[in-house]
Amino acid sequence: MNWMMLIIAGIFEIGWPLGLKLSQQPNSHKWGWILFSIGCMSISGVCLWYAQKSIPIGTAYAVWTGIGAVGTLLVGILFFQDSASIFRLLSAFLIVVGIVGLKLF
């Protein structure tokens, strides 16, 4: 259950930079997206807090930020035309390998 909460925390960690990016778009509902970001931050933090009840803090934090970083990178590539160079994708893959390693070992 705590690992599931950590994954949920990581997914919501993707939401807040997405909300901030969307708040900067022309004709967007700026304050609505900022509130969305704050909500994602809050949910992410509460889920991380819960996950740390049985997952070591260093592991939980690394997994949480890794999911957020790789997820946000993918959102940027898929929806905001961010660069998808081989080196960026390889770097993201290495983060995923590190996350899996932390879970396994």
Could you give the CA distance from residue 27 to residue 8 in angstroms, rounded to a whole number? 30
Could you give the CA distance from residue 89 to residue 97 in angstroms, rounded to a whole number? 12
Neighbours of 69 (CB within 10 A): 18
What pLDDT tens digit does each residue of the chain (105 aa) get? Answer: 899 999 999 999 999 999 999 999 999 899 999 999 999 999 999 999 999 999 999 999 999 999 999 999 999 999 999 999 999 999 999 999 999 998 888
Q: Report the domain count for the chain.
A: 1
* 3-state SS, one letter per residue, for 6-59: HHHHHHHHHHHHHHHHHHCCCCCCHHHHHHHHHHHHHHHHHHHHHHCCCCCHHH
Q: Per the confidence metrics, is the pTM higher than 0.95? A: no
